Structure 1
């Protein structure tokens, strides 16, 4: 197979026009947090973070696949996938893979800071063999700046949707090389998204903090409850605020989703994430960083429990 051309993830003319990314927390909030570190509550925060770190660093006997999806686009699915990938890369010392299956100009490469893409899922499905070593496989992947690897869905252009057979071939082949694979799925009810949700070791459903978003997500959870292998028990909901002033009461929204038995992790509005572009962990708000860590830990704990 001929080697594809390397394609920039962002047009260079636009890349030069991007402004400096904002910090997730405003300066007054960061100052107030520094003062709170002098209080006794800081010790409890450290203890909580240590517990999450243990969950994130637990060993896995076989590669675990965590599928991320939502009921529609534009709600934070890819951003959540990138946050999970960044978090696993930070805490784990074994290989982590971000797998993009949304060929409709998905933005996962941009969010993970990839400057260009070359090989796609479809390309690798035709090339990968059982005799390959990790070093052979990573030659077809995009290295992520803070560790880990990325396999894009396409070549940075509008591509045909990924088919179910290609998805199955790639995920089954790559699982033996990577301890954790985060799959950024297409939106439900797409065929690959349904397959990924059905076959993954754990699932993250991204719900926007709106009445219709929470209502639609509840429908997805009811569908997962009907799957024959207790899929709901290995599902976590990321309740995402895409506005600093949500119109829906977060407590009511979370309570409505928890009625199905799932764990709900709120992801707050963050100025850095709202700006688009590459996610820089140091620029995230403290609450966002803590929420992303908890979400990753909750997902991995469930993935490890799955046989």
Structure 2
């Protein structure tokens, strides 16, 4: 049964590594949660390693730049691993061909411009118009403030007929920017898959992002067993499902995407509706708390 806890510090000593989600746990898309920042700093002071693991469809460099602009202190984390990083590896190795149509906003350009040294020797990758593409790299809607998945149905039908594979750089369906909920690449990928299109996804809950985290930590000289890892996240189908698939403990932050389900106090989820909802989701994270603190 899931245990509702008050603070990360109350359980942190049991773990050596933290996989911490960003959006909904560390910030709301506009501002950091100060108590969450303090919780990560405290975990590191206790000797733990913090991996910021995000489904952002951008490289870790772009993620870090944004976190710095938001004011995240450097002592709150050790390494960043993004869905964009994992997708970029597959993209550069030709998983969907070498002539790609980019479905997504200009803010995700770094996937094509910030190339890791280890992958710089791959054959040239060309971004081409839809009609000339061998595959699709999807980082989200062109206009994530206005577009819906249905706006792309016609284009997706053509892509399916042509047998184009879509690389989805963000498995999230929606994300909250302050009080506004917007669609992510995962919603587009879900529609394409429902239409019979081929989709490859690389962020949580899929294995590539966890493999990348292990490789990044190994390069730092850090190795660990699964029972030493705690995954923190607010996405039941991404963070929690991914943790369970990897065989690691999970802390479900109820005050993120699902905040309205568990009572009026976002910091204090009510046990009965929480446990009933988790049962319906067939997920049993080891812990739950309102907001990371």
TM over 0.5: same fold? no
Q: TM-score, normalised by structure 1?
A: 0.34
Q: TM-score, normalised by structure 2?
A: 0.35
Larger RCO, structures 1/2 (Cα 8 Å, 6+ apart):
1
Answer 1 or 2: which has greater helix percent: 1
